[in-house]
Structure 1
Amino acid sequence: MQNPLLMKFPWTIVAVLAVNSLSATPKTETPASVEHATFNSRWSASIESEVKERIMRLNIPFKVRYDEEVSSTIKEYVTNGYRDTELMLGRTSAYFPIFEHYLNVYGLPKELRYLPIVETGLNIKAYSGAGAAGLWQFIAPSARMYGLEVNHTVDERFDAYRATEAAVSMLARLHSHYKDWSLVLAAYNCGPARVNAAIREAGCRDFYTVANYLPQETQHYIPRFIAAAYITNYHKHHGISPRYKGAFGKPLRGVKLFESYTIGEVAHASGVPVEVLRQLNPAYRRSIIPANERGHYLLLPASGLRGLKGLVSARSGRFDHGHRLLYPNAFELAYVVKPGESIEEIASRYNCTVQEIAAWNQLSEEEVFVNQEVTLYVAELIAPIKP
């Protein structure tokens, strides 16, 4: 995995200077000086002291230390690299709910959601020189070991759902061995063999001591994780706001497709542009979603879900069986699954059974996933739980 500051954030600034030496008008402030003023407003000695205090308030599942590495990384986030930071923050709206869902399902700390920021800056199309790919930077052998499909048609390392579950499964397995999240993250970055060797060399299991015997990139990993957690929580204190590009920032829905579709067919039925579908679903290399018994995930703007459902019904032969007629006195509710929710929790909340939810929505398995929209028939409307 490459140095995150090199691979994920190019930190480039283009200064445009407009100078007219023949003009007699008073000299005005140039874009470069505006940039410099912005730089100073986002980072100074007084600001850094406040940053240190906030760092100590972060809820992170390991010992937090504020050092030069943490400071310099945050400084890059809020000064030279603030434009990239804004775009990265804009992508959290799409990916954090998926991360939180699987972290909850596996019983892991939700703060691990910051890990892909360190890995890729939340760039789902990231591909390293070592062959690591996707948000969680799996190399192909590890991806296949954790059940991901990697071939010429589909590469699930670029599937936000599948890759996240695989990564969370790996993190759970590493934690069962190390019982220390800082060592888990180190092992995720450089591999358990190197971490085990470093522990033996250090003669202890304290990360900040063990780090001296780890590869240089891994030494930086925990400080950069702390910086990623900081900028996600406190970016507003530096005048930075999420910036949305394409589908990011819009309500999204997840569906699971079992039959074969082309991205073009999905775009035509849903009304979602092809480029937006490709932005959200880069796992489908040839713009084809192959048929699959376990299903392939598709992420799309909520506005396109209704049209897609019509295509899916026609292709699969599974149509609405008139449940509305069977429950004439019930309210029909379109419910969107929240991060970490299970079908059992939804059934209990709305006083119905798991089997009924599966039947109403023609689910092949009695399970649900975040961003999935399910139809419920309920005796009374209940305010949905806020995510």
Structure 2
Amino acid sequence: MIVRKISLIVGVLCSMSMFAQQSASSEVEVKPEVKLSYLDSVKSTFKKNDVAAKADSLWMKELTSLDIYDDLSKDIQTINSDVTVDQELPTELLKQRLQAMNEKSPFNIEYNQGLENLIKSFLKNRKKSFSRLMALSEYYFPIFEESFAKNNVPLEIKYLAVVESALNPKAVSKMGATGLWQFMYGTGKQYALKIDSYVDERSDPMKSTAAASDYFTKMFEVFNDWELVLASYNSGPGNVTKAIRRSGGQTKYWDIRSNLPKETQGYVPAFYATMYLFEYHKEHGINPERAVVKNFETDTLNIKKEMTFKQIADLLDMPQSQIQLLNPSYKLNVVPFYQGEQHCLRLPKDKIATFVSNEKQIYAYVDYMSTVRTIPAKLALKVAPKVKLQPQKTNSDFQFYEVQKGDNLGAIAEKYDVNLADLKKWNNLKSNNVALGRTLKIKSDVDTSKISKDVKAIPAIEKKSEEAIATADDKEKVATPQEYVVAAGDNLGSIAKKFGTTIAELKELNGLTSNNIGLGKTLVISKEVPAIEETANVNTAIASNVSIESFKKGAASKKISEDYYVKKGDSLYSISKKYPGVTISDIKKWNGIKDGDIKPGMKLKING
């Protein structure tokens, strides 16, 4: 009996052991194999460098925000310095502080009621803005001070960049002045700042500061007075000399101020008010926000191949906004590579260490990514006639995107995951400039792996169809509007003469209400060809696997009847592009419009 019990127990234990082994083996077998992407496989070989922590991405977004620039610009232009502001700051105390600032400055800082009102207005309405500006200043002021010290420029002029751009290297004024020091295009070229489709050195903190320093030095040799140098920086030396003449030969800013342009009359007081708030921020309870990036914590390296900010961000595990902050002169979020020229990339020092330690793998990844191109939609048409396409699985239609303020072609291409060269080709763009409000065509990728190979023949499609397709392509090229980018010295009359058209037609095509055109603006020159030929629809007929005849019947049965409300930046041309087959003449006829003038909020009837 005892033997039988022992045998039973041993049998149970053996069976439990075998079950446990089976369970363990089954768990190992079920575990799926994780496949790494090419990017992950490259990064897995990186030598890690933990020199510093990653920057706070929310703070990075704050640094690249334009709202402070907009607010301060509006204040400086609209504040009436003659209106008293109710803010706790005794006049006698303010006079004492201004006198203390004057004693250690080459500027002639004097108390006056207008300056007091401006300081009190900033204290009342912009304390939070100055708190953020002081955080930014920890990055930019060392750059300014180093350059000014080399050229014997007063270090206090660093506060002028706050007035000019609110320390935002991407700031652009209504007149087109760009960067921390707000250089106009011509002045930037005059001071050897590189400006092309990829690079705008007016936004480069170091190079633009060197140019500004050069300007201040030369203007001081002319006027021998730093306040007049500031006035000339805002309105030009010509306006300053006119004010001197109109003031009977007076050479002090406060003596000629009333004869200067209105904006310049508030410019130097705004500079002094900014200097005061930076010098006495503690006394007014302004606490600088935390600055997580400082200039001495960054370094540069030379790039050996063209790279996008996205590639750099993916490889180095850092937000693109941080790369944009540190490299604001690259307009398209791309670091280009020109033969015989150096292009630097500025990064935090720990990211520089990672990059330099793994250059071989990084450039191998860049080479790989350069071979990944958008598959042209016409690839689907080069199949043998007996290959049937599944239209519901193929997306070869265009999407439409209206260019917004702050957009550039690089960012749009990245947003839709398409190649920049393809985006320019689809929209017949000769350069990387794109006008605000323009509607861009964006074609999605064709997934060739989803093309089903069915042996059923497509009816009525023979060699003639291929010829028709070629003809349709030619017609598409003819129908694409011709465009022209406005160059220096251009006007509507000279452009109309150059292209054999009229000023009235140019204004109508581009929705212009006056003859003024901005430098760099893209103008539509030729009219769109509205006719839709039968052959132009062959592509769609093939892709949807229907006969040409049935396709034409289906297209003819589709009618558009809807209202469109005009948005800011719209023109009759851009609206017509939203509705295939609709022309500018159609919209004008349906809505009784005699000229090209349309206004935001206006309702247009679209009948197609």
TM-score, shorter chain, exceeding 0.5:
yes
- In terms of mean alpha carbon deviation, does 271-280 or 218-227 score higher? 271-280
Contact 1:258/1:291, CA 8 A, preserved across alignment: yes
**Which residue type is aligned with residue 307 of structure 1?**
T
- CA distance, structure 2, for counterparts of residue 289 and residue 62 of structure 1: 41
Does residue 285 of the first structure (1) align with residue 325 of the second (2)? no
TM-score calculated relative to the size of structure 1 = 0.66
| Higher RCO (C-alpha under 8 Å, 6+ residues apart) | 1
Quickly say closer, same or farther: Cα 1:93–1:209, change in 2 above 3 A. Answer: same
Alignment partner, residue 271 of structure 1: 317
Stretches of structure 2 lacking an aligned partner (at least 5 in a row): 1-67, 76-84, 364-608
Alignment match of 1:134 (pick from 152, 170, 179):
179
Alignment partner, residue 193 of structure 1: 238
CA-to-aligned-CA distance 1:286-341 (integer Å, 9 cap, x gap):
1111225553444433332312333568789xxxxxxxxxxxxxxxxxxxxxxxxx
- CA distance, structure 2, for counterparts of residue 309 and residue 172 of structure 1: 38
CA-to-aligned-CA distance 1:191-222 (integer Å, 9 cap, x gap):
01111111122112111111121101111121
TM-score calculated relative to the size of structure 2 = 0.43
- CA distance, structure 1, for counterparts of residue 256 and residue 197 of structure 2: 40
Secondary structure of the 1:79 match is helix
Does residue 55 of the first structure (1) align with residue 102 of the second (2)? no
- In terms of mean alpha carbon deviation, does 57-66 or 139-148 score higher? 57-66
Contact 1:263/1:287, CA 8 A, preserved across alignment: yes
**Which residue type is aligned with residue 88 of structure 2?**
S
- CA distance, structure 1, for counterparts of residue 74 and residue 250 of structure 2: 37
- CA distance, structure 2, for counterparts of residue 50 and residue 298 of structure 1: 47
Secondary structure of the 1:173 match is helix
Alignment partner, residue 323 of structure 1: none
Does residue 74 of the first structure (1) align with residue 138 of the second (2)? no
- CA distance, structure 1, for counterparts of residue 345 and residue 118 of structure 2: 34
- CA distance, structure 2, for counterparts of residue 314 and residue 176 of structure 1: 53
Quickly say closer, same or farther: Cα 1:112–1:147, change in 2 above 3 A. Answer: same
Contact 1:252/1:299, CA 8 A, preserved across alignment: no
**Which residue type is aligned with residue 94 of structure 2?**
V
Alignment partner, residue 240 of structure 1: 286
Alignment partner, residue 354 of structure 2: 307
Alignment partner, residue 171 of structure 1: 216
CA RMSD in angstroms, aligned pairs only: 2.8
- CA distance, structure 2, for counterparts of residue 153 and residue 273 of structure 1: 21
- Mapping for residues 6-45 of structure 1, pairs under 5 Å: 7-8=71-72, 43-45=87-89
C-alpha displacement of 1:182? 0.6
C-alpha displacement of 1:68? 2.7
Alignment partner, residue 370 of structure 1: none
Secondary structure of the 1:300 match is strand
Does residue 160 of the first structure (1) align with residue 205 of the second (2)? yes
CA-to-aligned-CA distance 1:344-386 (integer Å, 9 cap, x gap):
xxxxxxxxxxxxxxxxxxxxxxxxxxxxxxxxxxxxxxxxxxx
- CA distance, structure 1, for counterparts of residue 254 and residue 301 of structure 2: 43
Alignment partner, residue 110 of structure 2: 65
Contact 1:76/1:82, CA 8 A, preserved across alignment: no
- CA distance, structure 2, for counterparts of residue 157 and residue 186 of structure 1: 20
- In terms of mean alpha carbon deviation, does 64-73 or 79-88 score higher? 64-73
- CA distance, structure 1, for counterparts of residue 316 and residue 212 of structure 2: 30
Quickly say closer, same or farther: Cα 1:173–1:298, change in 2 above 3 A. Answer: farther
Alignment match of 1:89 (pick from 110, 119, 134):
134
C-alpha displacement of 1:277? 1.0
Does residue 143 of the first structure (1) align with residue 188 of the second (2)? yes
C-alpha displacement of 1:255? 1.2
Quickly say closer, same or farther: Cα 1:94–1:298, change in 2 above 3 A. Answer: farther
Rg larger in structure:
2
Secondary structure of the 2:280 match is helix
CA-to-aligned-CA distance 1:147-181 (integer Å, 9 cap, x gap):
11112211111111111111111111111111110
Secondary structure of the 2:281 match is helix
Alignment partner, residue 361 of structure 1: none
C-alpha displacement of 1:52? 2.6
Contact 1:148/1:156, CA 8 A, preserved across alignment: yes
Alignment match of 1:208 (pick from 229, 232, 254):
254
- CA distance, structure 1, for counterparts of residue 345 and residue 113 of structure 2: 41
- CA distance, structure 2, for counterparts of residue 192 and residue 254 of structure 1: 37
Alignment partner, residue 163 of structure 2: 118
Quickly say closer, same or farther: Cα 1:232–1:181, change in 2 above 3 A. Answer: same
Contact 2:140/2:295, CA 8 A, preserved across alignment: no
Quickly say closer, same or farther: Cα 1:311–1:158, change in 2 above 3 A. Answer: farther
Alignment match of 1:295 (pick from 330, 342, 354):
342
C-alpha displacement of 1:86? 0.8
Alignment match of 2:268 (pick from 209, 212, 222):
222
Alignment partner, residue 104 of structure 1: 149
Secondary structure of the 1:254 match is strand
Give the fraction of aligned pairs with identical amino acids, expressed as a percent: 30
Kindly tell me the number of residue pairs found equivalent between the two proteins: 283
CA-to-aligned-CA distance 1:232-286 (integer Å, 9 cap, x gap):
11111111111247x5468631315253332233334443321111123222111
C-alpha displacement of 1:6? 6.1
Contact 1:270/1:307, CA 8 A, preserved across alignment: yes
Contact 2:250/2:256, CA 8 A, preserved across alignment: yes
CA-to-aligned-CA distance 1:77-136 (integer Å, 9 cap, x gap):
322211111111110011001101111122212111111011122122211101111110
